[in-house]
Structure 1
Amino acid sequence: MHLAQGLANPCRHCLELIEEGDNKLILSYMPFDSKQAYAETGPIFLHQKQCHRYNSDKLPDWFAFLDPAIIRGYDDNDWMIYETGAVTPGSELEKECVKIFHNKDVKYIHIRSKFNCFQCKVEMA
């Protein structure tokens, strides 16, 4: 358990920012079902207290402040599709995700912070 410091403490479960001074958990996370060449493992934060799982067709408003964000498209075998990778301002994420989904091989997108911390998986509605 750690105390959240500053503003960059996103909870991976609810996608809300953990308030400064609140307790948070820091865990190692691999957002894939199995290990393979593109199955990166990295840190994520979680509220120590119970929170509700994020479920929306919109990205959280604070994603606009990811500066920059890293986005990558993956196929149905969890392989990265190289031409979909981009470093983009958070304010452009939704537009970039739509553009990536124009590639018929893309099944989902990962959004990461500039520090390569996994933020979320975006799937086509």
Structure 2
Amino acid sequence: MRLAVRGIPTPDADQLRRGGPDANGQAALRRRAEGQGNPCRHCLDLIAEGDDKLVLSYRPFAGPQPYAETGPVFLHAAGCERYDADALPAWFGFMAQALVRGYDAHDWIVYETGRVVAGRELEAACRSILENEAVAYVHIRSKFNCFQCRVERG
């Protein structure tokens, strides 16, 4: 099975960079990236230490509903190209642990799909979850439950 791995949509990233409201109705905070753990959720690349980043609340769903989790994410403050590929970024393999879970076509969690796996197991976990016909897509989240990306059947 081919995968389709995507960062957050460009229109979402652009409106946040222009000062539009995040999922909590607030403008993103501008900060300098410190250390290695600053992944941009649009290009799925790591933000270089010292570069400007935006810190904001993001809900990767069309609207609020019981399963529409919201959490903190980072974006490059400057524009970047959206990640849209058939494989996870290489650095995902170095995540100590990550949460993966499938969602149905109504954006509800398919409970039996939830897993905590090491980064090197993410691709296999996504493929396994997407074998379930009830699953429309998978979210990968950090061990702190921060949204990383969406994975669909390619």
Q: What TM-score does the superposition give when structure 1 sets the normalisation length?
A: 0.98
Counterpart selection for 1:76 from 89, 105, 110: 105
Q: Distance in 2 between the 1:4 and 1:63 partners?
A: 18
* Residue 28, structure 1, aligned to residue 57, structure 2: yes
- Partner secondary structure for residue 91 of structure 2: helix
- Counting only pairs closer than 5 Å after superposition, residues 60-99 of structure 1 correspond to structure 2 as 60-99=89-128
- Counting only pairs closer than 5 Å after superposition, residues 1-125 of structure 1 correspond to structure 2 as 1-125=30-154
Letter in 1 for 2:86: D
Letter in 1 for 2:100: I
How far 1:42 moved relative to its partner?
0.5
Q: Distance in 2 between the 1:41 and 1:94 partners?
A: 23
Q: Distance in 2 between the 1:33 and 1:44 partners?
A: 17
Runs of 5+ consecutive residues of structure 2 not aligned to the other structure: 1-29
- Report runs of 4+ in structure 1 exceeding 6 Å deviation: none
Number of aligned positions between the proteins: 125
Runs of 5+ consecutive residues of structure 1 not aligned to the other structure: none
Which protein has greater RCO, CA pairs closer than 8 Å, 6+ apart? Answer: 2
Contact 2:130 2:152 in 1 (8 A): no
How far 1:67 moved relative to its partner?
1.2
- The alignment yields a C-alpha RMSD, in angstroms, of 0.6
Q: Distance in 2 between the 1:103 and 1:56 partners?
A: 22
